Amino acid sequence: MLLDVQNLTTRFHTHDGEVCAVNNINFSVEAGECLGVVGESGSGKTQAFLSIMGLLAKNGSADGQVYFDGRQILGLSGNELNNLRGVEFSMIFQDPMTSLNPFMRISRQMTEVLSEHQGLSEKDAVKRSLDLLDLVGIPEAKKRFSMYPHEFSGGMRQRVMIAMALLCEPKLLIADEPTTALDVTVQAQILELIARLGSELNMATVLITHDLGVIAGLSDRVMVMYGGRIVEKAPVRDLFKQPQHPYSKGLLESMPRVDDSNNKSLYTIPGQPPDLQALPLGCAFIPRCEHAFAPCENQVPDLVKISSDRFKACHLEELP
Amino acid sequence: MKIKPIIPDRLESISEDAVKGRSLWHDARRRLFQNKAAVISMVILGIIVVLAILAPYLSPWPYDDPDWGYDFPGPPNAELKHWFGTDGNGRDLFVRTLYGARISLMVGILATSVSLLIGVTYGATAGFIGGRVDNIMMRIVDILYSLPFMFFVILLMVFFGRNIFLIFIALGAVEWLTMARIVRGQTLSVKKKEFIEAAHATGVSTRKIITRHIIPNVLGPVIVYMTLTIPMVILTESFLSFLGLGVQEPLTSWGVLISEGAKQMESAPWLLIFPAIFLAITLFCFNFIGDGLRDALDPKDR
Amino acid sequence: MLSYALRRLGSAIPTLFIIITVAFFMMRLAPGGPFDREKQLPPEIEANILKAYNLDKPIHLQYLDYMKNILRGDFGPSYKYLDFTVNDLILTGFPVSMRLGLYAITIAIVIGVTAGTIAALKQNSLFDYLVMGVAMTGIAIPNFVMAPLLALVFGVYLSILPVAGWGGGAFKYQILPVITLALPQVAYIARLTRGSMVEIMNSNFIRTARAKGLSEKIVVVRHALRGGLLPVVSYLGPATAAVITGSVVIESIFDVPGIGRYFVNGALNRDYPVVMGVVIFYAILIIVLNLIVDLVYGFFDPRVKVE
């Protein structure tokens, strides 16, 4: 097990009181696998991984245990984390427009990682950076190396972000909605690139997204989050074939399908994502769930094992 | 898929609260009243305003005639009800400070209104018409921005004498530039927003769009900037008065009093200290309220 | 870059032209003249004075004369300092004013940026509140209040610094004027820096820098400071104007022989050529300084192409 997360809880102290963004979640990532994490905005998917990276906003705090390669990393000091971040695991973000420093040349933003972590000379750092820019498919990398981020297109910037994250050959790459801000045509290229790099470099990847379609072809396992909790965990094929949680089912049904012969209108899950400050006493999904019954009202369903590699958090025995 | 009516009451009340809680003005008021500095400032400012209005009834002394039975200048003396002492002409400083407050606050509010009038008209016109007109209008603002305006006000005062209405207009004319920029920026951004287009598309009348949608959206930043403009104007008026270019005797303002006090600070420090305290506290209060309003209305923090 | 600078300077010429014209006609339209005395002068003497200062010609000819002289760099004679031209006054006063202004701006940048940055990094700490409290005081207490107060405390009560005067520019005579001049700017720059640094430290690219495992020092100094200082750079134009305006009061209070003192004396005595000369001189200065600030801004922010 490369990454093992136990009882992770993330809270934010806001003007209006404490908000629990991630509520006691457990999951793991195996070396080399690709884990998909799906959920709406506010489901806690991003905050969970920012907690692991030690990148929470100042008013946030995380509890629990996170083992990376067997070593507990949650709560490490900034200095200790800096020996791991960008080296053992890296993260790329949703918006490549704002995630690169607009005031620095790409060259400097890349080489500084190598000189900081590996003490490479300027010349070696430049060479390694150019290799990676080639690897992520930036044409004429040498010519563009000394440009500023605003001189790149959105897709190219995300490629630069990926190259930058991979400079030190991390064992784990966390990609937080890497394609949401990009053109549809570019989205597929970036996803394909992440998948290819994952297998080429034998690197585990976590793909965080609100779009199940993104995960379908790329990840091995899927974890569905709702209201700060994991509601279902399953191998990707099983989830698509037979979702076990009403929310997963709703997500699947709201996906457009090419092979849909009868022209029925696209389904949407009714209602709003939950307000984290006013979560229902029981299951967070209850206001939007057509199957809700008495126990859902008072008791949060546990995430229980239903077969060797499937878990769900729902009071229903089986989804009709 | 529908919500099963198991516990509809509670859920509905929750969602209703959530919606109400997010309305801009409701939220802003709550945030403003949570800001202790802003609330205290509002109270203090209120007290100063009331004192200024009631000035003639609060003290037995007039603002323009000396007390022949006391020193010229005399230190504070509670028995004679010269709470702040008397000035070099034997006039009661307490009353004069409050009369100074009247002038200073009036200049602050009137000049700010002038700047508001010019700035909003100019900015809204530029923002609404857009295109080349907007370009030219804003270029003019840019040019005016780079001028040493304070010197022009001084020139105006020097050439045309110290007329209090001239002060309002001159100060208002100096401060409208930023207001115009803010209003223009807001108008532009609001004009582009989807909800305006949606209102247009669904046939809502232009007047309604302006009153229901545009004004409320432009109002926030304008109010904040107004609160910050008032102290600036008061400061500028005091500055002019200090140089001897402001209001004339026997009328007074805080700047005049401070200027007189500074000349005699070694022998009669109270002449400097009391007006300076009033001026500083007022400026403090306006700044705190302005900051509080800005934080309360800033959607970034929501 | 050079062509941009030249073009900006070119566009400044009509601006200056308008300033001079407006100021000139304002001056001539003003009621009352510089030689109005309590006692009526004999008509022949007054005519002589007017002739000596070219005030007897038709107004458009006076305007042309004035324009011609200004183009030659001649601001005319002072009405009050009888043996001096305006140029003399500016030439003797400007080095003094410039020294005060430069010191004040330098102090304001160094202290303001440092305090603002630390306050931003330690948001909501005691230091933060302290800096913001002092800054608020610096903004709320005007320099014409601060100056006599400081003079009272350090000059009169403690007697460690001179109350006023210049002493030929000796160090101890400069301390109080520079401090009073710098204080509001220190306050303003500290608040500005804190605000923009807080925003930048919460920005996405700083999160990226942290995700890369860079040390906090590199994150702040290399990644955050440059963007965080942009508002300060663009504030330098208004700051210069504010310091120049402030110097008018400070020089009068501390009796410093700079341009500001001549300006105030000129204003109070209706010494028109001096007042106009100073306004035009400072207008030129401010326009040039704004141009320099814009060029520096382009250097700080690569997204702005100075072309």
Q: Which residue has the higher pLDDT, B148 or C23?
A: C23
Q: Give pLDDT, residue B207.
A: 72
CB contact under 8 A, A112 and C214: yes
B288 to chain C nearest CA, in Å?
9
B180 to chain C nearest CA, in Å?
17
Tell me which residues of chain C, numbers 19 to 78, contact chain A at a CB-CB cutoff of 8 Å: none
Chain A residues inside the 8 Å CB shell of C300: 103
Q: What's the token pair of residue C252?
A: 């009068």
C108 CB within 8 Å of a chain B CB: no
Residue A152 gets the label, from left (phi > 0), alpha (psi -120 to 50) or beta, of beta
Q: Which residue has the tokens 């949680």?
A: A245
A230 - beta bridge partners? Answer: A225
CB contact under 8 A, B276 and C245: no
Is CATH 1.10.3720.10 correct for B48-64+81-301? yes
3 state SS of C54 = coil
The neighbour count for residue B77, using CB atoms within 10 Å, is 15
Contact C306, C239 (CB under 8 A): no
Segments of chain A scoring below 50 in pLDDT: none
CA-CA-CA-CA torsion for A291, A297, A299, A301, nearest 10 degrees?
20
Contacts of residue C160, defined as CB under 8 A and 6 or more positions apart, other chains included, come to C154
A212 to chain C nearest CA, in Å?
25
Instruction: Read off the pLDDT of each residue in C93-106 and give the average, rounded to a whole number.
Output: 91
CA distance C1 to A316: 71
Residue of A nearest to C217 (CA): A79
Residue C227 has pLDDT above 70, yes or no: yes
Distant-in-sequence contacts of B164-168, Cβ < 8 A, 24+ apart: B164/B103, B164/B107, B164/B247, B164/B251, B167/B107, B167/B111, B167/B237, B167/B240, B167/B246, B167/B247, B168/B107, B168/B110, B168/B111, B168/B114
What is the CA angle B224-B230-B233, rounded to 5? 135
Contact A217, A12 (CB under 8 A): no
Contact A315, A299 (CB under 8 A): yes
Each residue's pLDDT tens digit, B215-239:
777 777 888 888 888 888 888 888 8
C286 CB within 8 Å of a chain B CB: yes
Q: Where along chain C do its domains lie?
A: 98-256
Chain A residues inside the 8 Å CB shell of C213: 81-87, 113, 116-117
CA-CA-CA-CA torsion for B2, B8, B11, B15, nearest 10 degrees?
70
Number of cross-chain residue pairs from A and C with Cβ atoms under 8 Å apart: 80
Q: Measure CB to CB from residue B159 to each of C30, C137, C290 and give the nearest one.
A: C30
CB contact under 8 A, B159 and C19: no
Contact C237, C203 (CB under 8 A): no
Q: Give pLDDT, residue A203.
A: 92
B300 CB within 8 Å of a chain A CB: no
Q: Give pLDDT, residue C141.
A: 83
User: C77: which DSSP letter?
Assistant: B
Residue B20 has pLDDT above 50, yes or no: no
CB contact under 8 A, C210 and A104: no
Amino acid occupying residue C175: I
Residue B19 has pLDDT above 70, yes or no: no
A59 CB within 8 Å of a chain C CB: no
Instruction: Report if pTM > 0.90.
Output: no
CB contact under 8 A, C205 and A55: no
Q: Residue B13 — pLDDT band, cuts 50, 70, 90?
A: very low
Each residue's pLDDT tens digit, C159-217:
888 877 787 777 888 889 999 999 999 999 999 999 899 989 989 999 999 999 999 99
Q: Measure CB to CB from residue C268 to each of B152, B160, B244 and give the nearest one.
A: B244
**HSE-CB for B98 with a 13 A CA cutoff:** 22
C219 to chain A nearest CA, in Å?
11
Element spanning A67, H or E: strand A60-68
- Work out the percent of chain A whose per-residue pLDDT is above 90: 40
Q: Where along chain B do its domains lie?
A: 48-64+81-301
CB contact under 8 A, C213 and A78: no
Q: Give pLDDT, residue B146.
A: 65
Chain A residues inside the 8 Å CB shell of C205: 98-102
C305 CB within 8 Å of a chain A CB: no
CB contact under 8 A, C136 and B158: no
Q: Give pLDDT, residue A181.
A: 78
A287 to chain B nearest CA, in Å?
6
Q: Give pLDDT, residue C121.
A: 92
CB contact under 8 A, A116 and C218: yes
3 state SS of A5 = strand
- Work out the percent of chain B whose per-residue pLDDT is above 90: 5
A25 - beta bridge partners? Answer: A8
CB contact under 8 A, C213 and A116: yes
Residue of A nearest to B4 (CA): A290
B31 CB within 8 Å of a chain A CB: yes
> Which domains does chain A show, CATH number per domain?
3-96+171-312 (3.40.50.300)
Residue of C nearest to B147 (CA): C283
Chain C residues inside the 8 Å CB shell of B262: 144, 147-148, 253
* Lowest-pLDDT range of A249-258, B175-184, C257-266: A249-258
C198 CB within 8 Å of a chain B CB: no
- Rounded CA Rg of chain C: 24
Q: Give pLDDT, residue B4.
A: 34
Element spanning A306, H or E: strand A304-307
Tell me which residues of chain C, numbers 7 to 66, contact chain B at a CB-CB cutoff of 8 Å: 15, 19, 23, 26-27, 29-32
Q: What's the topology of domain C98-256?
A: MetI-like fold (1.10.3720)
Q: Give pLDDT, residue C298.
A: 77
Q: Which chains does A contact via 3+ CB–CB distances below 8 A?
A: B, C
Q: Give pLDDT, residue A91.
A: 93
Each residue's pLDDT tens digit, B35-57:
888 899 999 999 999 988 887 78
Element spanning A134, H or E: helix A122-135
Residue of B nearest to A295 (CA): B6
CA distance C248 to C166: 15
Most C CBs within 10 Å, among A59, A101, A173, to test the C interface: A101
Estimate the share of chain C in helix, then strand, then coil, as percent rounded to the nearest 5: 75, 0, 20
A129 CB within 8 Å of a chain C CB: no
Q: Give pLDDT, residue B21.
A: 42
ipTM score assigned to the predicted complex: 0.88
Residue C137 has pLDDT above 50, yes or no: yes
Residue of B nearest to C270 (CA): B158
CA distance A274 to A289: 12
The neighbour count for residue C133, using CB atoms within 10 Å, is 10
* CA distance readout (Å), B129 to A19, B122, B133, B191, C34: 45, 11, 7, 11, 47
* Lowest-pLDDT range of B7-11, B142-146, C177-181: B7-11
Each residue's pLDDT tens digit, B74-104:
777 777 777 787 777 778 888 888 888 888 8
CB contact under 8 A, A99 and C123: no
Q: Measure CB to CB from residue C144 to each of B151, B242, B288 and give the nearest one.
A: B242
A119 to chain C nearest CA, in Å?
13
Contact C280, C70 (CB under 8 A): yes
Residue of B nearest to A284 (CA): B11
Q: Residue C253 — pLDDT band, cuts 50, 70, 90?
A: confident
CA B200 to mean position of chain CA atoms: 35
Which of A124-128, B179-183, B265-269, B289-293 is predicted most confidently?
Answer: A124-128
CA distance B190 to B174: 26
First to last CA, chain A: 35
A147 CB within 8 Å of a chain C CB: no
